[in-house]
């Protein structure tokens, strides 16, 4: 009688498997580390240029900028002093006069957070400009935040005065329905993009509440030359 024997499966090649995966992982690790080392300075440089361009775009007439941070204790420190906190950027004109301070805020919009940079003028204690840094808002509606001329009028002089103690804004910045703006600290929403407009209001309020008291208290640090 002829019995057909099933051939046993080939044994798993443990050593070649380990050798191959080990080699590939080593090559891959080396390449990634190399790329990281090479690209870090370039990326940091790009980041700096991008921030600078955005600040100069938002503050007309600005030609130089200095970086500061608002520490969690509410103090303003130079960014290169080693202190950590939320970054703010002081923008100066050609004569070295402080034009405005760029401050950052985030508000949640229709499709995730909206990150905005605002120009804060310590002289008039108001917000004088805005630029959306990052948002996923619907094109054609939410992205009007940067272009709609009527909406941008809100940021010609949006009131951000401090209270008498100088610890917070006297009036929180809020977004109101289109056409119902009555106070200088209110933002007139865009029709059809109310949620995005509200995100902008929240971002403005957050940015000003955090940075304005520190800027006003340590204003001397900003105005004194390098």
Partner 1 sequence: MAEANQDGAKPTASTPLLTQEETLTADTFIRGLWKENPVFVMLLGMCPTLAVTNSTINALGMGLSTTFVLVFSGILVSLLRHWIPKQVRIASYIVIIATFVTLVDYAIQAISLELYSALGAFIQLIVVNCVILGRAESYASKQRVLPTIVNSLGTGVGFTLALLALGTVREILGQGTLLGIPLFGPDFQPWLVMILPPGGFFVLGAWLLLFNWRRLRLERRAKQSTGVLADAR
Residue closer to partner 1 (CB basis): 35 or 63 = 35
**Closest CA relative to residue 133, chosen from 75, 11, 202, 50:** 50
| Pairing relationship of beta strands 86-92 and 64-70 according to DSSP bridges | antiparallel
Q: How many residues lie near partner 1 (CB under 8 A)? A: 27
3-class secondary structure, 132: strand
| Interaction of residue 97 with partner 1, rule CB under 8 A | no
Of residues 27, 63, 124, 150, which one binds partner 1 by CB under 8 A?
A: 27
Shortest CB 175 distance to partner 1, Å = 23
Of residues 82, 140, 149, 179, which one binds partner 1 by CB under 8 A?
A: 140
Q: 129-135 — which CB contacts under 8 Å span 24+ positions?
A: 129/58, 129/59, 129/100, 129/155, 130/58, 130/155, 130/200, 130/204, 131/54, 131/57, 131/58, 132/200, 133/54, 133/104, 135/109, 135/111, 135/196, 135/199
| Interaction of residue 139 with partner 1, rule CB under 8 A | yes
Shortest CB 219 distance to partner 1, Å = 32
Residue closer to partner 1 (CB basis): 40 or 97 = 40
Q: Which of residues 2-21 bind partner 1 (CB under 8 A)?
A: 12-13, 16-17, 19-21
Q: Kindly list the residues in this chain that would bind partner 1 in the complex (CB under 8 A).
A: 12-13, 16-17, 19-21, 23-25, 27-28, 31-32, 35-36, 38-39, 42-43, 46-47, 50, 134, 138-140
């Amino acid at each position: 009688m002829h019995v057909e024997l099933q051939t046993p499966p080939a044994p798993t090649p443990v050593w070649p498997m380990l050798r191959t995966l080990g080699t590939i992982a080593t090559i891959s690790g080396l390449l990634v580390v190399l790329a990281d080392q090479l690209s870090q300075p370039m990326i940091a440089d790009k980041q700096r240029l991008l921030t600078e361009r955005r600040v100069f775009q938002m503050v007309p007439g600005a030609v130089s900028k200095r970086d500061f941070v608002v520490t969690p204790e509410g103090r303003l420190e130079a960014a290169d002093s080693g202190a950590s906190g939320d970054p703010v950027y002081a923008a100066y004109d050609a004569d070295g006069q402080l034009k405005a301070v760029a401050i950052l805020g985030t508000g949640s919009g229709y499709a995730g957070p909206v990150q905005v940079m605002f120009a804060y003028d310590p002289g008039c204690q108001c917000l004088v400009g805005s630029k959306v840094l990052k948002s996923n808002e619907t094109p054609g509606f939410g992205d009007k935040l940067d272009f709609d001329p009527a909406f941008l009028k809100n940021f010609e002089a949006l009131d951000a005065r401090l209270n008498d103690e100088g610890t917070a804004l006297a009036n929180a910045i809020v977004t109101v329905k289109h056409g119902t703006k009555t106070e200088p600290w209110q933002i007139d929403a865009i029709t059809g993009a109310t949620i995005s407009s509200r995100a902008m209001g929240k971002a403005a309020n957050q940015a000003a509440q955090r940075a304005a008291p520190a800027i006003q208290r340590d204003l001397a640090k900003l105005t004194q030359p390098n």
